[in-house]
C-alpha cells in the first residue's frame, strides 16, 4: 500500500488536485469509488435469483428439445416450463416505449416478461448477432426495465444465453 508523504518536497508545486506519493511520481487523486449498485453497469446481483430460475427453465427446454426448431416451438415449450416451475410470466407482452417524458403510441412485443421485471427474448438461429444485442438493449432502455435475458436455442453446441443489465 502506498503511503502519502506528510509534506511534499519544497521543489515541487502541487495543486490541490494532485497528491505526491514519492519524489518521482505525481498521481492524481481519484474521486471516491461509488458503490456498484449506484453505478449499475457492473451489477451482477440485480434480480439474481429470478434470473437463475429463468435460465434454468431455458436450459431444461434446450436439453429436452435440442436445436433445430423454429422460435414459436421454443416459446411454447418455455411458457410450459415457466408454468411448471411457477415462474410468473406474461407472454407476448406489449410494453410501452418511453421517449423523454412521453410514452409513444407504438408498443413493442417482448417474448416474455418474467416476475414483472425481467425481459426475456428468445431466438432460434445459428448464432446471435449484434442486431440481437441491440434489440434487447433498446427494449431495456425504452421500457426502463433493468435486466434482460437473451436466449438462442439455435446453437448446435449449447444454449446460448446472455444476461444484460443496464
Task: For residues 132-150, give the mean pLDDT.
Answer: 89
pLDDT at 36 over 80: no
Q: Which three cell numbers stand for residue 78?
A: 418455455
User: What rounded mean pLDDT belongs to the chain?
Assistant: 80
- Is residue 146 helix, strand or coil? coil
pLDDT at 146 over 50: yes
Beta carbons of 36 and 43 less than 8 angstroms apart: yes
- The structure's pTM equals 0.71
Cα separation, 147 vs 14, whole angstroms: 45
Cα separation, 166 vs 147, whole angstroms: 7
What is the residue extent of each domain of the chain? Answer: 1-30, 48-165
For residue range 80-134, list pLDDT tens digits in order.
Answer: 999 999 999 999 988 888 788 888 898 888 999 999 999 999 999 999 999 998 8
Q: According to the model, what pLDDT value does residue 139 have?
A: 87
Q: According to the model, what pLDDT value does residue 43 have?
A: 58
Fold of 48-165: Lambda Exonuclease; Chain A (3.90.320)
Beta carbons of 18 and 26 less than 8 angstroms apart: yes
Q: According to the model, what pLDDT value does residue 56 have?
A: 96
Q: CA dihedral defined by 84, 85, 86, 91, rounded to 10 degrees?
A: -70
Amino acid at each position: 500500500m502506498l503511503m502519502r508523504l506528510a509534506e511534499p518536497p519544497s521543489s515541487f508545486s502541487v495543486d490541490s488536485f494532485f497528491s505526491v506519493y514519492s519524489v518521482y511520481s505525481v498521481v492524481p487523486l481519484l474521486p471516491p469509488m461509488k458503490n456498484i449498485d449506484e453505478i449499475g453497469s457492473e451489477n451482477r446481483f440485480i434480480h439474481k435469483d429470478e434470473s437463475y430460475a429463468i435460465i434454468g427453465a431455458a436450459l431444461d427446454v434446450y436439453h429436452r428439445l435440442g436445436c433445430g426448431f423454429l422460435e414459436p416451438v421454443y416459446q411454447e415449450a418455455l411458457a410450459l416450463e415457466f408454468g411448471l416451475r411457477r415462474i410468473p410470466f406474461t407472454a407476448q407482452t406489449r410494453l410501452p416505449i418511453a421517449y423523454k417524458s412521453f410514452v409513444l403510441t407504438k408498443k413493442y412485443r417482448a417474448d416474455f416478461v418474467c416476475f414483472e421485471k425481467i425481459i426475456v427474448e428468445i431466438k432460434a438461429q445459428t448464432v446471435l448477432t449484434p442486431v440481437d444485442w441491440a434489440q434487447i438493449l433498446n427494449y431495456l432502455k425504452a421500457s426502463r426495465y433493468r435486466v434482460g435475458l437473451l436466449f438462442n436455442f439455435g446453437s448446435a453446441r449449447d444454449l446460448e444465453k446472455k444476461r444484460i443489465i443496464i
